Amino acid sequence: MKRIYLDYNATTPVEPAVLEAMLPYFSGEFGNASSIHTFGQRARAAVETGREQVAALLNARPQEIVFTSGGTESDNHAIFGVFSAASHSLTAAEPAPHIITSLIEHEAVLNTCQALEKQGVAVTYLPVDRAGLIDPEAVRQAIRPETILITLMHANNELGTVQPLAEIGRVAAEADVYFHTDAVQSVGKTPVDVKALQLDLLSLSGHKFYAPKGVGALFIKGGTRLRQFLYGGHHQRGFRPGTENVPGIVGLGKAAELARVSLQSDAARIAALRDLLEQGLLARVPDALANAASAPRTPNTCNITFPGIEGEALIIALDLKGLACSTGAACSSGAVEPSHVLTAIGLSAPDARATIRFSLGRHTSEAEIAAALDIVPAAVAQLRQLSPTYRREVSA
């Protein structure tokens, strides 16, 4: 059975050219980038090349890039770092700091904000519309004198919705409030320019755009007041102590370089395949609904509700047929909870549980999409035959 992978938002395969660039740094070029001898100097040069490559992808300066273990660490560092720097200078008489975020953020942001709430920080969770978009005017209205940070994702991991960051960036700049974005799902898929978006902080993760797992980066605009998140040596200007992951950084840099070259052509080809899949499923599956289809989206993501089925059951059925995709539901204490993103855009709990995310990538082919258009409708129809809920809905 030839398997079809349509879960690129979860992770991507390491690109062959990325692996090739990394391999020497596992063996012959094994030096510690902090050592001053030749072995260390070669490793340091490789790290700095990677830094330049990542900076070029974001239109940043190399010295503004700090390498991390991935998006979660970068998000934590950005949010805790801004809070720590701001709270360090507060007097007891001043109000607690305030942070603005949204209801559809990744758990790396939401759980960090919730942890800060336990320390007395006030957090505003902005709603989104049916397409998952945040209103820049709502951001403006939420700003208080004590607001220290706006943290809003660039592209949503489930819907693909791309937020109007340029407009929100202007709002943040006018209010002189730090602006952070979790760009894990947008970097490498759609253009990201930290200057045009007026960003102070940006998080990214390598394994979302064909680099290995376990490496990411945090963009920190020059002059941003950010306290370090970890303590140890003086690596990376003190922002992120610890011996650098040289092979991972080399891979991340190479992936960034490849993305710069192929971003436009990849996006056009993948978007055409995404639309072919989405339109085909809507035509072949009765009552199917494409979520956020009217919003600006990353070119690779479609999110479809199939009323009358359980998403987890459909994922298993599709996997047995050789097709991998995902559902936004989360398993907590044995109970499947509906996605917080899907309920935030107004889906009922049953519809949220009946929703599947298909995410395409650089290696997705038209033949795979054609196969998916046979596999998915058949699996949905089979599950609906077993669903008393769907039969009742149809008969009503």
Active-site position among 113, 302, 325, 331: 331
Distance, in Å, from the CA atom of 325 to the CA atom of 6, rounded to the nearest integer, reads 5
Task: Give 191's DSSP letter.
Answer: -
What letter would DSSP give residue 133? P
In the chain, which residue ranges form alpha helices assigned H by DSSP?
A: 16-22, 38-58, 71-88, 107-117, 136-142, 165-175, 246-284, 311-320, 340-344, 349-353, 366-385, 388-395
SS3 content of the chain, % helix, strand, coil (to 5): 45, 15, 40
CA-derived radius of gyration, the chain: 22
60 near 219, Cβ under 8 Å? yes
DSSP 3-state of 281: helix
Q: How deeply is 216 buried, as exposed, middle or buried, from its count of CB atoms within 10 A (0-12, 13-18, 19+)?
A: buried
Residue 331 falls in the annotated catalytic set = yes
- Whether 68 contacts 74, CB under 8 Å: yes
Strand-pairing partners, residue 147, are: 98
Residue 44 backbone phi and psi in degrees, to 5: -60, -40
Tokens of 81: 């770092």
Residues 6+ apart with CB under 8 A from 335: none
CA dist 302 and 208 (Å) reads 16
Residue 366, CA atoms < 13 Å, CB-side half-sphere: 3
Kindly list the catalytic residues. 331
